[in-house]
Amino acid sequence: MFDATQNLTSAGEFDSDARILMNGLIQMGSQTPLMFGTHMFNINGTQRRYGWVQCSRDITSEECGTCLSNMLEDVENCCEEKKVWRVFSPSCIMMYETQPFFLNDSNAPAPQQAKEKDGTKSWIIIVIVVIGTVVAALLALSAYYLCGLKHRKNRRNYMQNLSPIFSQDQSDIEETGNSDLSMMPLSTILKSTNNFSDEYKLGKCGFGTVYKGVLADGKEIAVKRFSKTSVQSVEELKNETILTAKLQHRNLVRLLACCIEQNEKLLIYEYLPNSSLDFHLFDMVKGAQLDWKQRLSIINGIAKGLLYLHGDSRLKVIHRDLKASNILLDHEMNPKISNFGLARIFGGDQDEASTIRIVGTYGYMAPEYAMEGLFLVKSDVFSFGVLLLEIISGRKSSKFYLSEDGLSLLVYAWNLWHERKEIELMDPLIEKTCVPGEYLKCIHIALLCVQEDAADRPTMSSVVHMLVSDTLTLPDPTRPAFSVGRAVVERAVVDRESSSNTSISANEVTLSELSPR
């Protein structure tokens, strides 16, 4: 900070004796134990100048000299035509005056002694204020530095807590402990959930229980508490922490924080007051509140969230468990995809992967995944097609075959479309609000998404385009292959288990219906 007053009456004063004398004062001040120096100069033998230099005590003598020298260069650039100037920085200060502003100046003219005493008092006050400001700034910087050290120490402790849970691959831990994710103390979570009392319980999910929490400031949260005994819950925690912390989209649930303390593994999400889509969709009373406009908005939101996962985010993510219970609804009934415990990241140009462990939910699995363990982005597209049929029909795919002559919802919808009887699939609760053209287009898109051959299914980019276009001509879908139900999945798992001689349980296919909200 610069303060310069009083123009020179004759050019060149600063360029002569003053520079030499100030350099000497800098050398003297930087080498004293207190890093402080004052001096009176005689300019041309007739004029007096008073100099002051001082450095903060948290820097070295060399750093003090450098700070003051750099400051003098700045003075030459800005204040060359000034008699009086004062320069301040967090680490050093420099002042150059025509009047005395420090004590013990025995060379001052006697007639002006009283006046100079008054001036000295004024300048003492100014200097005290300046030094106080500098000290305050240094204290603030020190506090900021110490807070930074504490934050880094807390993060190191957090990383040490994560290490036993994640693999030994350091990249896994670094991905999880990224700066996007905050930490929340267990004590705060226990207080917000009344020690995980039943009255705060929202429901169960695949590998744990979800609780509602209320923080001290009144903010509501959802806490996913992972099972302490399940090995699979560790993998799900890893997936959700890495993925949800990095993925930010209005149609994805937002992860707020993580907690790994005292054998507890907890994820803290935004609280979504309207629960999950299945809570409304498959209930006669609540389903009546989902008119056609609302359902179409939910369909579009889910499609955009999947599009973000598959190609628009910094990661290419396959969700692998898209279903109505994993679609949460905010206060305005906007959909948010949740539960990334089974998700997988694809890198680079990778489009598919395989596994011998079949995980997911009956009724939503693509045939290539259920039968061969092959999963790809088009597997999510298949699940979206099933979900789309559920939304417009109000019927649950995994239970449909029990009431419709053993047919799956997919085959039943295809038969109606083929016979031009699509209206029979419509949920009676939306008959009065439904727009026929939009309804027929949704059935058509859903049937394109659930085709047997993954290559025939559209991408989510194409699906989003189809949903918003009124002029696009859609191709005819082919008949879905079969019902991807419990018997099919269990037979596929047993076949793969026999061929690989690996112990795998069909019970890894989940039937979870509730998720964090």
The per-residue DSSP string of 82-128 comes to: EEEEEEE-SSEEEEEESS--SS--TTS-GGGHHHHHHHHHHHHHHHH
Of 320, 331, 236, which Cα lies nearest the Cα of 275?
Answer: 331
Domain boundary among 104, 138, 172: 138
Supply φ then ψ for residue 318, to 5 degrees: -105, 120
DSSP letter for 310, please. Answer: I
CA angle 464, 465, 468 (to 5 degrees): 90
Inside any domain, residue 203: yes
Mapped onto helix, strand or coil, the DSSP state of residue 13 is: coil
Q: Do 493 and 507 fall into the same domain?
A: yes
* Enzyme catalytic residues: 321
236 and 312 together in one domain: no
pLDDT at 178: 43
Considering the domain boundaries, does residue 159 fall inside one?
A: no
**φ/ψ of residue 199, rounded to 5:** -65, -20
Question: From first to last of its 517 residues, what are the pLDDT tens digits of the chain?
Answer: 555 555 444 444 455 566 777 788 888 877 887 888 888 877 666 677 888 888 887 788 888 888 888 888 777 766 666 778 788 777 888 888 888 776 644 444 444 444 455 555 556 666 665 666 666 566 556 555 555 555 455 544 444 444 444 443 333 333 433 445 678 899 999 999 999 999 999 887 667 889 999 999 999 999 999 877 665 556 667 767 777 777 888 999 988 888 888 888 888 999 999 999 999 999 989 999 999 999 999 999 999 999 999 886 667 888 889 999 999 999 999 999 998 878 888 765 656 666 656 667 778 888 888 788 888 889 999 999 999 999 999 999 877 765 556 678 999 999 999 999 999 999 999 999 999 999 999 999 999 999 999 999 999 999 999 999 988 899 999 988 765 444 444 444 444 444 433 333 333 444 333 334 4
Same domain, 307 and 444: yes
Q: What is the b/e burial string over 480-513, where b = at least 16 CB atoms within 10 angstroms of the residue's CB?
A: bbebbbeebbbebbeebbeeeeeeeeeeebbebb
What would the two tokens of residue 310 be? 């598959």
The DSSP secondary structure of 421-452, one letter per residue, reads -GGGGS-GGGTTT--HHHHHHHHHHHHHHT-S
Answer for the pair 202, 517: CB distance below 8 angstroms, yes or no.
yes
Do residues 237 and 260 lie in contact, with contact meaning Cβ atoms separated by under 8 Å? no
Here the CATH number for the domain that contains residue 174 is: 3.30.200.20
132/180 same-domain check: no
Of the candidates 355, 330, 333, which has an alpha carbon nearest to the alpha carbon of residue 342? Answer: 355
270 DSSP β-pair partners: 221
Which single residue is written with the structure tokens 């990224």? 178
516 domain-assigned: yes
Name the residue among 172, 129, 436, 163 with its Cα closest to residue 296.
436
Is 287 a domain residue? yes
CA dist., res. 468 & res. 460, Å (int) = 13
The domain spanning residue 104 has which CATH number? 3.30.430.20
Tokens 């047993």 locate to 494
Give the per-residue pLDDT at 137: 61
Statement to judge: residues 131 and 169 lie in one domain:
no
Do 105 and 81 lie in one domain? The reply is yes
Q: Do residues 319 and 302 touch, judged by C-beta distance below 8 A?
A: no
- How many CB atoms within 10 Å of residue 70? 12
In-domain check, residue 147: no
CA pair distance 440, 165, nearest whole angstrom: 48
What's residue 110's pLDDT? Answer: 42
**What is the rounded distance in angstroms from the CA atom of residue 298 to the CA atom of residue 287?**
13
CATH number of the domain within which 470 lies: 1.10.510.10
Asked whether residue 58 is domain-assigned, the answer is: yes
Q: Which domain holds residue 515?
A: 275-517
Confirm if 340 and 243 have CB atoms less than 8 A apart.
yes
Total domains present in the chain = 3
Give the other-Cβ count within 10 Å of 404's Cβ: 13
Check whether residue 280 and residue 252 sit in a common domain: no
Over 142-154, what HEC string results?
Answer: HHHHHHHHHHHHH
Q: What is the number of other CB atoms lying within 10 angstroms of the CB of residue 52?
A: 21
> In terms of domains, do 365 and 415 share one?
yes
- H or E segment to which residue 202 belongs: strand 201-205
Q: Looking at the structure, do residues 235 and 282 belong to the same domain, yes or no?
A: no
Of 222, 255, 270, the position where a domain reaches its end is 270
Please state the separation of Cα 186 from the chain's center in Å.
20
Whether 153 is in a domain gets the answer no
**Final residue of a structural domain among 270, 299, 334:** 270
418, containing H or E segment: helix 409-418
Shared-domain flag, residues 233 and 295 = no
**CA-to-CA distance for 181 and 215, rounded, in angstroms?**
18
Which tokens go with 131? Answer: 């030094």
In a domain, 155, yes or no: no
Task: Mark whether 413 and 387 lie in a shared domain.
Answer: yes
The conformation of residue 276, written as its DSSP 8-state character, comes to B
Q: How far apart are CA 139 and CA 98, in angstroms?
A: 32
The rounded Cα 56 to chain-centroid distance in angstroms is 39
244 shares its domain with 370? no
- CA distance linking residue 315 with residue 244, whole number of Å: 11
Contacts of 297 (CB under 8 A, 6+ apart): 333, 334
